[in-house]
Structures are given as C-alpha cells and as structure tokens.
Structure 1
Amino acid sequence: MKIIGMIMILISSTLIGYIISLRYSLRRWTLKCLISSLNMLKTEISYSKTPLSEAFEKISEVSDSSIRFLFSNTAKILNLNEGYTAGEALEISLSKWKDNNFNKDDIEIIKSLGYGLGNSDGYNQENNLELALELLKKQLADAEELGKKNERLYRNLGFLIGVVIVILFI
C-alpha cells in the first residue's frame, strides 16, 4: 500500500510539472496563430478593402480555435452598432477572453493594435498592423527562448519534487 502511494505521488508531481510546462507551449502556439490571423486581417484591410466587422468575421471563420473567440466576439460587438470603435471592441473581447495564454505584454500589443484600427486610412492601418506583427514576432521569439529554458526545468522539477517527497516518506 505504501508503494502505491509513493508511485501516485511521483506520478502526480511529474504531471504537475508537465502541466506547468505546457503553458509555455500553449503561449507559443497562440502567438503563432494570432500572427497568422493578423496577416490575414492585414490582407483583408489592405487589398480587399473589407470593412472591419466583416474582416473580423472572415478571420474568425478561418482562425485556429485557440484565438477564434477574439475575432468572432470583436465582430459581434462591431455588428451591434452601439458606437464602439474597433479598438474598444477588441479591448472588450480581450477582457472577456478568459482562457487566453498571453502575458501582459502580449495583451498590451493587441490593445495598442486596436487603437489604430478603424481610426485612420488603410495605409496607416496597414502600418499599424505591421508594427503589431513585428512586436508579436519579437514576443514569439522571447516565448520560444523562455520555453526552451523553462519547459524542461518544470518537467524535471516536478519529477524531482516527487522523488524528494517519496524519499521523505521512506
């Protein structure tokens, strides 16, 4: 019975380490999907000259499920015609989006992107999107570097903490 308990402790602590390390992978995936979707939004605005609410709807239909809520909810808010700007709609969507994997810097970049959408001509909106994309690419590079360091650390740390607890029980 004691051995089963020790095995359960070891397995659960290892799983906790893997779950913590998974957050780093999810952040990288979400950032990649957001960058891809923003590139599509840039195309919709620049070349198709699609209105923002329609562009957000189109992007939400083809976006990965990890970020679909952001675009679909922003489109819904803009379609309600309650006087919200694209930036305000995007900020409301960000505040309602509870299961995102972004950190504070990522969210600030998205908010700053929203302030330039719909408030200027197509050229300035394209420049604003380009700036946001560059900043998000830098965030992605930072997330990849951080993930390389911390993912393995947390996996090993979870296992080692389990080993220490098992040794203490012996």
Structure 2
Amino acid sequence: MMKLAGALLVLFAGTMIGYLQAARFAARPRQIRQLTHALQRLETEIQYGQTPLPEAIGRLAAIVQPPVSALFAEISETLSRADGTTVRECWDRTLRSGWSATSMKKPEMEAMLRLGATLGGSGREDQIKHIRLAMHQLQAEEVSARDEQHRYEKMSRSLGVLGAALVVIIML
C-alpha cells in the first residue's frame, strides 16, 4: 500500500514538473508580446503625450499583466522617489533583480537593458528610435520563442510523465 502511494506521488510530481516546464515555454512568447505592446504604448506616451517618464512607465505597469507589470511598477516607483537614481541605474537594477520572475530569457533582457541605457538621457526622437529598435528585437525573439514553444512544449509534458513512470517502474 505504501509503495502504491509513493508511486502515485512520484508519478504526480513528475507529471507536474513536465507541465510546469511546458507552461514556461508557453508563457515566454506571451510575455514578450506584452513587453512589445508596452513599448508601443511607451513610444506613444513619449511622442504624443509628452508624459514624464515615471508616470509613463507607471501607466505601462497598469496595462500589462504580471509578472511583466511588476518590472514596470518597480521602475516607476523608484523613479518617482527622486532619490538621485538615474533612469539607467534604476532600469538595470530592476530588470536584473526581477527578470527571474518572468519566463523570458537573456536576449530579451539584453534588448531591454540597451533600451534603458538611452531612456531619459537623450532627446525624444532618439528615445523613440531606441524603443522601435527594442521592439524589433523583441519581435524577432518572439518568433524564436514561438518556434521553441512548438518544439518543446509537448515534449516537456511527455518527458515529465515518462520520466516519472520510469522512476515508478524502477521503484517497483
């Protein structure tokens, strides 16, 4: 009876690990799309609204879903404090500390870090050019992420179940 209960727990745990990994593959393209949409809104805010950067980034936090919204909310909050932190420092610190909560990978973070280096420190037209460049880079990464999702999502679920089944067979 104990062996059966242990086998069921191992099977359940392995299956859940596979499904969680598959969910990360599915979440990455969605989060990149959210980030691209947020950058489009930021471009609009800078170009037409001429909204101050902390307020514009705060609005971005309101339109995207977690965990991406948490990054923008933290940046906006830090910039609003006016403690002498530059936009670049705040952007870098927040992205580096909060990026692990997202399903996105290093190429997306590097594109966002490059964008953060120019925001608030150059003219409006230059900032818009850098935002568009970051959006193009993110769109290319989204295509790559969708390919990766199609390739590995089903495999992750199957490997979770099959790996757990192998452990159960070895246990018995």
Q: Same fold, TM exceeding 0.5?
A: yes
Aligned to 1:131: 133
CA distance in 2, matches of 1:37, 1:13: 36
CA distance in 1, matches of 2:22, 2:95: 24
Q: Which runs of 5+ in 1 are unaligned?
A: none
Aligned to 1:101: 103
Tell me the alpha carbon deviations over residues 141-167 of structure 1, each in whole angstroms, 9 at most, x when there is no partner: 111111111111111111111222232
Aligned to 2:64: 63
Aligned to 1:32: 33
User: Normalising to structure 2: TM-score of the pair?
Assistant: 0.90
Q: CA deviation at 1:17?
A: 0.9
CA distance in 2, matches of 1:4, 1:78: 53
Q: CA deviation at 1:71?
A: 1.2
CA distance in 2, matches of 1:6, 1:65: 35
CA distance in 2, matches of 1:65, 1:162: 31
Q: CA deviation at 1:101?
A: 2.0
CA distance in 2, matches of 1:10, 1:69: 34
Q: CA deviation at 1:65?
A: 2.5
| Distance 1:169-1:77 versus aligned 2 partners, 3 A rule | closer
SS at match of 2:101: coil
Tell me the alpha carbon deviations over residues 48-81 of structure 1, each in whole angstroms, 9 at most, x when there is no partner: 1111111112222222122111111111221222
State, as a whole percentage, how many aligned pairs show the same letter: 28
Matched, 1:10 2:22: no
Tell me the alpha carbon deviations over residues 101-157 of structure 1, each in whole angstroms, 9 at most, x when there is no partner: 221111111100111111211111111000000001111111111111111111111
SS at match of 1:29: helix
Q: CA deviation at 1:96?
A: 3.0
Aligned to 1:155: 157
Q: Which runs of 5+ in 2 are unaligned?
A: none
User: Normalising to structure 1: TM-score of the pair?
Assistant: 0.91
Q: 1:41-120 to 2 correspondence within 5 Å? A: 41-97=42-98, 98-120=100-122
| Distance 1:59-1:169 versus aligned 2 partners, 3 A rule | closer
Aligned to 2:22: 21
* Residue identity matched to 1:50: T
CA distance in 1, matches of 2:77, 2:15: 42
CA distance in 2, matches of 1:120, 1:96: 25
